[in-house]
Structure 1
Amino acid sequence: MSDPSTAVSRAWVEVDLGALGENLRQVRNAAPGAGVVPMLKADAYGLGAAQVLRAVLAEFAPDGPWAIGVAAVSEGEALRALGWAGRVLVCAPVAPGEERRAALAGLTLSISALDALDRWAAAARDTGRSVSFHTEIDTGMGRAGLPAGAAGEWGPAVAERSGDLIAWEGCFTHFHSADEPDLGPTEAQVRLFRAALAELPPEPEGAPRRVVHCANSAAALRRGGFGMDLVRPGIFLYGGQAGVETHPAPVASVRARVVRVADAPPGATVGYGATYRSRGPERWATLAIGYGDGLRRALATAGGEALLHGRRVPVIGRISMDVTVVDVTGVPGVSAGDVATLVGRDGDDEIRVDEVAARVGTISYEILTGLGPRLPRVYRDGPGPKP
């Protein structure tokens, strides 16, 4: 593969923004009429919030999405620095003491406890800023939220704390199993959520109706967001499956250059611990990528592969911090400077991010967010040249 943008890079991540836009359109088509809150937390799942934000805004031109979703106050501040003036919804509890920063940045917080709401109201008074919040309702996730079964108790207390400077804008819940084959537990959560909503006091006269939302990528695609006001897509936008029947366009590719090719005699060993020994004459290629770049070390014993010249080649020996060795015996013409693909397409074959995740017993989220800062991100508006 010859590409001037990566000519001096040992390894890099290619991000296909056109594919990301395609995935966003799939979500919008699956949940027509619902507002969309694209999740850009964790630096847009490791792919770069600045460029992803621009791609998202292009899809929603001229008005933009209903909100951008994040998980931390610092992420909301970063979006403001990038020029996003629309709504930013922080979808996780914030640490005590961060409320003033959130108010100054004009963020919308999610509230999981009455004392958190009191701190948010204090920040509004202290800064003189009007702020808003969404109450998270816990229907079984367990990590955050006010209990669904006690909505008749905390609902009036939340309403009492709302006022001129602090608006109760919405309510949401989060699913724990919407990507599993059996949607029964998810439907049970929806019933709990709706029952809790029915226990809440009505909006004050003249106040806007509170928006309600529950759907991550899986629930948006598989159940259209259950007919609620908003959907909050995340992993599907970035090319990860959200249930086996969902089919995202691949967004991220991970490439690395071959930096050494050598013939190995029978009985030669490679890597720390000498865990691999050649069974005959072999040819090995060293790739300039390792676990210091986010390549999972466990791939060495889990059938890890790369693509070179359109063919799958196995990882051999332990993955090092900076390099990885693959067996290219039988693949003609491999030489230093060639490009190997660890995630993505090369010729007629493809290694998908979900395949890599399954090999090491994790999820695509962790593979993407684990790609290290040493890997430059290269952005395309469509598929790049094939290696």
Structure 2
Amino acid sequence: MTERPRGAALDSLLACAISAAAAGVLIHLRPTLRKPRPAPDARAWIEVSRAALRHNAAELQNLLPTSCRLMAVVKADAYGHGAIGVARELEKAGVRAFAVATLSEGIALRRGGVRGEVLVLGYTLPSEASFLHRYRLAQTVVDGAYAAALHAAGVPLDVHIKLDTGMHRLGADWGDTAALEGIFGYNTLTVKGVFTHLSQADDLSDEAADFTLGQIGRFIDAVNTLKAKGYDTGALHIQESYGILNYPGLPCDWARAGIALYGVLCKNDQTRLTPDLQPALALKARIAEVKQVAGGEYVGYGRRFMAKTPMKLAAVTIGYADGIPRNSVHRDAWVLLRGQRAPVVGLICMDILLIDVTHIDDAAPGDIVTLIGKDGGGAIRCEDVAESCGTITNELLSRLGARLPRIFV
């Protein structure tokens, strides 16, 4: 056997030693080589209470007949709460059906691990029907022409037929039985449900109640006609949040809980039933700077606000790009800091708003400011913020920006 030169052997041993040492250094340094990730509550963020979501689902379910189950509406990123996190939490609580507005929202749920039934309430291009099939999403059918287009896509689909019973937004005419029968005739479409939407269920006036009862009656008539002709109409669903609170006893299989599921109403409404709903969302940000402003000085864009006396102002790291309505400053907006009210002053900027902290002696950079939610003994209700801005909670919450991390607590 030929011996290796001693120098070559030493070189080989030295190389092995260097490699081992380098590997040890890399293992030691591995944590520092990972990309740093900022804390989710570093700037501005949303906190979502898991307990409140579970509590609200149980409260709403208890209002319904035992044969009727909740369908959680998680469109618009679950009204700003974070659709995947909300849906997964509700699945743990026993909710098995979800509604979204778009195909992409449905796909996101599936990719996020949501296994329950998912219904797309809005329009999906027939050319994208294969995605509905691939991700096991049910599609809303709004008329015969749309049903024909989905059928032409050539993939098996589960569908729900939406009936127009008087809102005149989307839906097949409830009284056109022949057109409805045509939808059942497409062999690639399996009708899994029929539903409608109540346009005035939030209004308890006699006139609005008569209209709502008329919608309910038309829906039931259409379904009974189809059943009498031998068609399986699948799961029936009429109520949304206000339908649950004002018309809870309807003979349905599902009830589509939207805004009420998150513990708020569209506005400060009266409802026939008043379950103990708990707001699930809190909106918070931090103070970046505190400064003194002399009396007579102007503050912010356009010099819209003038300090009449010496003031102490704090810059808060949130703005209209995060979904804070820019017009809220004109309606006596305020936030909570250390449990105390602090008025918003000047025009709200894209990324910053200013608050008056003259009366809060220890206000400092890094302090947490609450824009919606509780702080100490104080609270800011979403309904009040929405009304002060001339809108409803649905819009206010769904506009909260994607750059706000959703932290489930």
**TM-score normalized by the length of structure 2:** 0.84
* 1:167 lines up with 2:190 in the alignment: yes
Partner of residue 229, structure 1: 253
Deviations 1:201-246 (CA, angstroms, capped at 9, x unpaired): 5464xx7552211000111122215231210101111232154344
Deviations 1:42-96 (CA, angstroms, capped at 9, x unpaired): 2212221221122101110xxx51x211111111112221223332111223233
1:178 Cα offset (Å): 1.4
Secondary structure of the residue that 2:291 maps to in structure 1?
strand
Q: 1:167 to 1:149 in 2, by over 3 A?
A: same
Q: 1:228 to 1:7 in 2, by over 3 A?
A: closer
The 1-side partners of 2:81 and 2:41 are apart by 20
Partner of residue 385, structure 1: none
Matched ranges for 1:117-128 at <5 A: 117-123=147-153, 126-127=154-155
Larger Rg: 2
Q: What is the one-letter code of the residue matched to 1:224?
A: P
Partner of residue 218, structure 1: 242
Aligned with 2:81 (options 30, 43, 47):
47
Q: 1:225 to 1:319 in 2, by over 3 A?
A: farther
The 2-side partners of 1:367 and 1:257 are apart by 20
* 1:111 lines up with 2:135 in the alignment: no
Matched ranges for 1:345-356 at <5 A: 345-356=374-385
Matched ranges for 1:1-387 at <5 A: 9-33=42-66, 34-60=68-94, 64-65=95-96, 67-123=97-153, 126-127=154-155, 129=156, 131-150=157-176, 152-161=177-186, 163=187, 165-182=188-205, 183-200=209-226, 202=228, 204=230, 210-224=234-248, 226-241=250-265, 243-245=269-271, 246=274, 248-380=277-409
What is the aligned residue count?
363
State percent identity of aligned pairs: 34
Answer yes or no: is the 8 Å Cα contact 2:52–2:279 preserved in 1: yes
The 2-side partners of 1:57 and 1:319 are apart by 38
The 2-side partners of 1:280 and 1:359 are apart by 26
The 2-side partners of 1:35 and 1:280 are apart by 58
Deviations 1:174-211 (CA, angstroms, capped at 9, x unpaired): 0112122333332221122122223325464xx75522
Partner of residue 7, structure 2: none
Answer yes or no: is the 8 Å Cα contact 2:314–2:356 preserved in 1: yes
The 2-side partners of 1:8 and 1:166 are apart by 46
Q: 1:203 to 1:53 in 2, by over 3 A?
A: farther
1:35 Cα offset (Å): 1.9
Secondary structure of the residue that 1:226 maps to in structure 2?
coil
Deviations 1:125-183 (CA, angstroms, capped at 9, x unpaired): x34x4x22111001122210011232x2312222333x3x4222221000112122333
Q: 1:225 to 1:39 in 2, by over 3 A?
A: farther
Q: What is the one-letter code of the residue matched to 2:222?
A: A
User: Which structure 2 segments of 5+ residues have no match?
Assistant: 1-37
Q: 1:104 to 1:57 in 2, by over 3 A?
A: same
Deviations 1:8-30 (CA, angstroms, capped at 9, x unpaired): 61111111111011111111001
Q: What is the one-letter code of the residue matched to 1:271?
A: G
Secondary structure of the residue that 1:279 maps to in structure 2?
coil
The 1-side partners of 2:254 and 2:232 are apart by 15
